[in-house]
């Protein structure tokens, strides 16, 4: 295993020494900068996805996607930096407002205390307490000015408090924005790593040969066409119960649309692919994550039994995988779960239904045997490459 991993890493390093990732993307986006260049590359990728018909165009598309992702990463990093600076400015501003509010509040309390000690007198009492009209008028003017100033201070305190609350709310919004940007950056960096790895895998799988590239695409397409034909022409066998044996693991379809003995387990709802993992009970199984390594992963969230008995190895999951680049018909999605069992070759019904059987040509060079179970309400499970 160590030898295999070392060989793969060596290939990976040699590949990037001689095939730099970013050196092939359309010249039509050269000379553009910033968001204009990103928009140009997004359009280029969108157009390129519809025109991939050779290994060379596949590599160019991956390079364009990788270059686009690099630019998006830089843009996100700039936004993160700008947002962090805004938060720092807001933090300084909030600190100043809090200090001002504290000072103004203390001044207001002092004035309230002084005002309480000097309780307002009636005009008659003021007149008696002052020796002449001039002193009386000055005293009235002083009290009126003090009252006005107190009202202004109260308004200033309230205004400062409101401003501080608004700034704090704005800073919280920026914090949420920053968290979202950091998550976006993490996703973008993972996407770039995936594209780099994907290109290496495609070149390794195809041995950098366009004929081999087209052969692998054709194998995947033959398998898809066989399933579609099986749906239309399958022969009814009869009802089956959960746990009933329905077939044996095989390699039917080789070499047209199979590369080795395994079970391709697929589920469709109303003739559309759905994730079969959502129907199986939870099980932790070894899963192939590359040509050379496996990880123990918990799979399943439903109530169906697994179609194979333990110990089970999953060689390819549903969705986007290292090998799903060849499934162009499904948008690069592996539509089922590939698995093998080291315990038994028997395939069992995961749930009740009606069993059907079909044998279809796989590119004219071989036949693929397919069993499928109609579970009712448009739900059908498929079992490919059986003996």
Contacts of 341-346 spanning 24+ positions with Cβ under 8 A:
341/249, 341/308, 341/309, 341/310, 341/311, 341/312, 341/313, 342/311, 342/312, 342/313, 343/308, 343/309, 343/310, 343/311, 343/312, 344/308, 344/309, 345/248, 345/249, 345/387, 346/245, 346/248, 346/308, 346/309
The residue whose two tokens read 């000015």 is 145
pLDDT at residue 274, as a whole number: 97
All structural domains of the chain, each given as residue ranges with its CATH number in brackets, are 15-208 (1.10.287), 213-384 (no CATH)
Res 306: pLDDT? 98
List b or e across 160-176, with b for residues whose CB sees 16 or more CB atoms inside 10 angstroms. Answer: bbeebeebbeebeebee
Token duo for residue 319: 């969705």
Given the structure tokens 């199979």, which residue do they identify?
258
Q: Calculate the dihedral angle through the C-alpha atoms of 48, 259, 318, 208, rounding to the nearest 10 degrees.
A: -30
Q: Which residues pair with 52 in a beta bridge?
A: none
Peptide bond into 37 cis (omega under 30): no
Q: How far apart are CA 359 and CA 356, in angstroms?
A: 11
Query: Whole-angstrom Cα distance, residue 151 to residue 102?
Result: 17
- Whole-number pLDDT of residue 27: 65
Report the distance separating Cα 272 and Cα 335, nearest Å. 10
pLDDT score at 357:
95
- Alpha-carbon torsion, ordered 7, 8, 14, 18, to 10 deg: 150
pLDDT of residue 1: 43
Categorise residue 78: left if φ over 0, alpha if ψ from -120 to 50, beta otherwise: alpha
Q: Does the CA dihedral 236-238-243-249 come out positive or negative?
A: negative
- What is the predicted pLDDT for the residue at 314? 97
pLDDT at residue 259, rounded to an integer: 80
Helix (H) or strand (E) holding 43: helix 34-51
For the question of whether the overall pTM of this predicted structure is more than 0.75, the answer is no
| 18, 203 Cβ separation under 8 angstroms | no
**One digit per residue, pLDDT tens: the chain, 387 residues?**
434 444 444 444 344 433 443 444 456 787 778 888 888 888 888 887 777 889 998 898 888 889 899 999 999 999 999 999 988 888 887 787 677 667 766 766 666 666 555 555 454 454 445 454 444 444 445 455 555 666 665 666 677 777 778 888 888 898 999 999 999 999 999 999 989 988 998 999 899 999 999 988 888 888 888 888 887 888 999 999 999 999 999 999 888 788 889 999 999 999 999 999 999 999 999 999 887 889 999 999 999 999 999 999 999 999 998 888 888 888 889 999 999 999 999 999 999 999 999 998 887 778 899 999 999 999 999 999 999
pLDDT of residue 258: 81
So what's the pLDDT on residue 45? 82
Q: Per the structure block, which two tokens stand in for 362?
A: 């796989």
Tokens coding 177: 């924005």
**Predicted local distance difference test score (pLDDT) of residue 378:** 96
pLDDT, position 159: 74
Sign of the C-alpha dihedral, residues 304, 310, 316, 317? positive
**CA neighbor of 107 nearest in space, from 147, 153, 144, 146:** 153
User: Tokens in use for 345?
Assistant: 């070759």
């Amino acid at each position: 295993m160590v030898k295999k991993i070392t060989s793969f890493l060596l290939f990976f390093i040699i590949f990037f020494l001689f095939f730099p990732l970013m050196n092939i993307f359309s010249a039509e986006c050269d000379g553009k900068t910033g968001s204009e260049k990103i928009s140009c590359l997004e359009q280029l990728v969108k157009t390129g996805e519809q025109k991939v018909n050779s290994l060379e165009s596949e590599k160019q598309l991956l390079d364009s996607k990788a270059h686009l992702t690099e630019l998006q990463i830089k843009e996100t990093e700039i936004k993160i930096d700008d947002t962090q600076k805004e938060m720092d400015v807001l933090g300084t501003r909030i600190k100043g407002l809090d200090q001002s509010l504290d000072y103004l509040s203390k001044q207001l309390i002092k004035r309230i205390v002084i005002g309480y000690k000097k309780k307002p007198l009636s005009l008659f009492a003021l007149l008696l307490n002052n020796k002449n009209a001039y002193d009386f008028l000055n005293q009235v003017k002083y009290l009126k000015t003090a009252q006005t100033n107190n009202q202004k201070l109260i308004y200033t305190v309230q205004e400062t408090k409101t401003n501080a609350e608004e700034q704090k709310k704005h800073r919280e919004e920026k914090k949420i924005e920053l968290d979202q940007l950091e998550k976006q950056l993490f996703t973008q960096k993972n996407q770039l790593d995936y594209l780099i790895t994907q290109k290496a895998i495609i070149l390794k799988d195809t041995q950098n040969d366009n004929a081999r590239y087209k052969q692998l695409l054709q194998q995947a397409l033959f398998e898809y066409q066989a399933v579609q034909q099986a749906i239309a022409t399958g022969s009814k066998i009869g009802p089956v119960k959960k746990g009933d044996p329905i077939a044996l693991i095989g390699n039917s379809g080789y070499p047209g649309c199979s590369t080795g003995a395994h079970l391709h387990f697929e589920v469709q709802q109303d003739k559309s692919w759905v994730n079969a993992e959502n129907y199986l009970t939870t099980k932790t199984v070894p899963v192939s994550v590359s040509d050379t390594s496996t990880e123990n992963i918990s799979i399943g969230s439903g109530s169906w039994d697994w179609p194979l008995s333990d110990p089970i190895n999953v060689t390819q999951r549903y969705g986007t995988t290292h090998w799903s680049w060849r499934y162009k018909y499904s948008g690069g999605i592996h539509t089922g779960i590939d698995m093998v069992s080291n315990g038994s070759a028997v395939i069992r019904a995961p749930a009740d239904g009606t069993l059907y059987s079909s044998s279809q040509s796989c590119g004219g060079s071989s036949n693929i045997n397919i069993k499928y179970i109609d579970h009712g309400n448009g739900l059908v499970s498929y079992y490919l490459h059986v003996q």
